[in-house]
Structure 1
Amino acid sequence: MKRVVARLWRSIRGPLQWRILWCVNAKFMVGVTGVVRDDAGRVLLLRHRLWPPDRAWGLPTGFALKGEEFPHTVVREVKEETGLDVEPCRLVRLLSGYRLRLEVAYEASYVGGTLKIDDFEILEARWCDPDALPEGLQESHRQLIAGISSA
């Protein structure tokens, strides 16, 4: 049976294979997070307007656009939310399993710009020492900060 399926699969190469794969596989949104640090090692945290009030603090985060490279998503989201310029560095998390969302996180370095928050999405932005993080910080973001600062 496996040989028959393999022969059939090889015989339908091209667009039909892609349509079949599209129908039988999960589709994911990609959430991209940036762990942005300045020269002093402080991390950029944002209080998000659209997140639950008891968990409103977190790292700069957003969804990748179709066809967008994930490091560019970090650069774009930080710029949109804060006006700051960052340079993406190493990939620090790639995780699936939360419904139909893939989570990607990168370290990023602050390289310039003036802080000007997008007041539609963001209530407040602040640079925090990794040892003095605010209450209401997303637990997954706390873990990202701890993992990077101990590396």
Structure 2
Amino acid sequence: MKKDRGKVWLGVAGVVINSEGKWLVVKKKYSGLKGVWSLPAGFVNDGETADEAVVREVKEETGIDCEVSGLVGFRSGVIREEISDNMAIFYCRPIYDIQSISIQERELSEVAWLTVEELVNGGESSVMLREMASHELKEHQLFKKEGINPGEVFEYSAYKLFFNK
């Protein structure tokens, strides 16, 4: 069942890089990303923060447990002049050095750890992935800060800041 997301979308993607410097990438079975390497990604659900959503999406799509350490970038666009399509792109680390990949077969055809060279020169990467892999990513573009209370008046149940130190 397709969920009605309205006309403002918030998605997340994870740049998960292992100790060998390889990126965790997926091939979708549908949409404009069908058959090309892209980042594990999905939408933020009700009641979760964007960084919680990316950890969930990476686990659901690939079976890899990861943790967020920073925000790499933000993609924003408008689809057919009506839908605001936004994506927070997080830097993530695998929690364990050795983990088995498990493919979410409903959505994905492949999952792999690939080098930057393979992503840039292999000819099968999405435009966004190829562009990101072509530039040196710093581990932390924006750092995560938790444990901040902006005031009870706002009634936040979760609150995190991502900023440049």
Give the TM-score normalised by structure 2.
Answer: 0.68
**Match for residue 10 of structure 2?**
30
Residues 39/89 of structure 1: CA separation in 2 closer, same or farther (3 Å cut)? same
Letter in 2 for 1:143: E
Q: Which residue number in structure 2 is paired with residue 10 of structure 1?
A: none
Give the drift of 1:150: 6.5
Partner of 1:142: 130
The CA distance in 2 between the partners of 1:137 and 1:110, in whole Å, is: 22
Instruction: Kindly indicate whether residue 54 of structure 2 is the aligned counterpart of residue 74 of structure 1.
Output: yes
Of the three residues 87, 104, 107, the one matched with 2:88 is 104
Counterpart mapping for 1:103-122 below 5 A:
103-112=87-96, 113-122=99-108
**Two-structure CA RMSD over aligned residues (Å):** 2.2
Closer/same/farther in 2, CA of residues 53 and 141 from structure 1, 3 Å limit: closer
Aligned mates of 2:61, 2:54 — CA distance in 1 = 11
SS at match of 2:117: coil
Aligned residues between the structures:
126
TM-score (norm 1): 0.74
User: Structure 1 residue 45 and structure 2 residue 20: aligned?
Assistant: no
Larger radius of gyration: 1
For residues 31-88 of structure 1, the C-alpha deviation after alignment (integer angstroms, 9 at most, x for no partner) is 1110110011100111111134765221101011123211111100011011110111
1:87 aligns with 2:67: yes
The question of whether the paired residues in 1 share the 8 Å contact of 2:28 and 2:34 is answered with: no
Q: How far is the alpha carbon of 1:123 from its aligned partner? A: 0.7
Cα gap change, 1:91 to 1:148, in 2 (>3 Å):
farther
Aligned pair 1:63/2:43, yes or no?
yes
Aligned counterparts of 1:45 and 1:140: Cα–Cα separation in 2: 12
Give unpaired runs (5+ residues) of structure 2.
Answer: 1-5, 140-165
More helix by share: 1
Unaligned runs of 5+ in 1: 1-25
What secondary structure does 1:114 align onto?
coil
Identity %: 29
The verdict on how the C-alpha distance between 1:147 and 1:66 changes in structure 2, with shifts beyond 3 A counting, is farther
Alignment check: 8 A CA contact 2:27 2:33 kept: no
